Amino acid sequence: MKRNIRNYDLNDLKQEMIRIEEKPFRAEQIFKWLNQEKVMDFSEMTNLSLDLRKKLEDNYRIGTFQMEHKLVSKDGTKKYLFNLCDVENNLIETVLMKYHHGYTICISSQVGCKMGCKFCASTGIPFVRNLEAGEIVEQIIAVEREEKIRISNIVFMGIGEPLDNFENVMKAIEIINHPKGLNIGARHISISTSGLVPKIYELANRQMQCTLSISLHSSNNKTRSAMMPINQTYPIEELIKACQYYIQKTNKRISFEYALAKDNNDHEEDAKALVKLLKGMLAHVNLIPINPIEEGKYHKSTNENILNFRDYLNAHGIVATIRRELGSDIEAACGQLRRQNLSKNKR
């Protein structure tokens, strides 16, 4: 297969131009055609010579996705099933949500996931591969083209663990963030992680301006390890230490995700432990009523418990909000995405 030209950031494209014996300034024109005009064919790049267009056509392809399905929720949330059109016809899911401040897209970073969180629908479905930078970016471009909209916020909260696909995610962010690329400010991009501690240090050292979300879900190692096997490798103390380093380095607030499950992590003593853990940190807590998955043993907390939990945190100096649930009727809510049971040609 020809190389996917979407995988390149502006610097890479300059190198590519040199490689194919073209002037490096062409890179910027091509980069804009790809990411600002969002063209799908080299023939549309009308400020390039016919020869160059032909050369590009012979050497590269522009993405590959095919939209297999689109589901629309009664709340307006949309879920897309994309066929990556790779050798295995792998499928990934992407979700678009409309908020009063604009559109937020929830994108996938891997085909499958290795983390095995017990409450997540991606669990039990084998990991296949990392998404390439171009495949991460193409989710945004495909949805913007389909809906004729401009997306303002990006969350890496779809399928996969973004920090387990570090370099490709960083490259994708470079393309998304670049003023001549998608031009979406770093502050409008959130990376969510189950807690890959060494990668949190790396992010901090890169001074990334994105928002970091930590999927915490419990302040107790026993409960957290039962929910998230990654906690056995990087327990809460190490995770918090990495978060403190991140805050100190970037001066940015961290968002802690906490999915409330009935009688598992939703009692007052859990709230108390969370306050103790996060006290004094530049942090915000996002409470999510857990979405039960079929094979899971976790059940949604009662509304009363959710409100009490939030009120306890707020009364004790921790800013906490309850995340509005969107798209649950089309299985597009938190943790409901899967890469489909099998890739398309095996169904």
Active site residues: 93, 334
Query: Does 93 participate in binding ligand SAH (rule CB under 6 A)?
Result: no
Are the CB atoms for 105 and 140 separated by under 8 Å? yes
Name which of residues 103 to 122 contact ligand SAH (CB under 6 A). 115, 117, 119-120
List the one residue from 7, 168, 194, 340 that touches ligand SAH (CB under 6 A).
194
Which DSSP category does 37 fall into?
A: I
Among 52, 96, 140, 259, binds ligand SAH (CB under 6 A): 259
The HSE-up count of residue 59 (CA atoms within 13 Å, CB side) is 15
Report the residue from 112, 134, 181, 335 that binds ligand SAH according to the rule CB under 6 A.
335
Q: Which stretch binds ligand SAH (CB under 6 A): 93-101, 166-174, 288-296, 309-317?
A: 288-296
Q: Which of 342, 344, 345, 327 is nearest to 94 (CA)?
A: 327
Q: Closest CB to ligand SAH among 52 and 155?
A: 155
Q: Is 264 in the site for ligand SAH (CB under 6 A)?
A: no
172 binds ligand SAH (CB under 6 A): no
Which single residue brings its beta carbon nearest to ligand SAH?
335
For ligand SAH, give the closer residue by CB, 35 or 305.
305
Q: Which residues 6+ apart lie within 8 Å of 11 measured at CB?
A: none
When asked if residue 340 is in the footprint of ligand SAH (CB under 6 A), the reply is no
Which of 62, 157, 240, 318 is the binder for ligand SAH (CB under 6 A)? 157
Q: How far is the CB of 278 from ligand SAH (least distance, A)?
A: 16
Q: Which residues contact 117 (CB under 8 A, 6 or more apart)?
A: 123, 194, 215, 227, 228, 229, 230, 335
Locate tokens 């897309």: which residue? 80
Amino acid found at 100 = H
* Phi-psi category of residue 148: left, alpha or beta, with phi > 0 → left and psi -120 to 50 → alpha: left
| Closer by beta carbon to ligand SAH, 35 or else 340 | 340
Task: Using DSSP bridges, classify how beta strands 211-215 and 78-83 pair: parallel, antiparallel or unpaired.
Answer: unpaired
d(CA 200, CA 243): 7
Residues that bind ligand SAH (CB under 6 A): 115, 117, 119-120, 157, 161, 192-194, 215, 257, 259, 288, 290-291, 293, 334-335
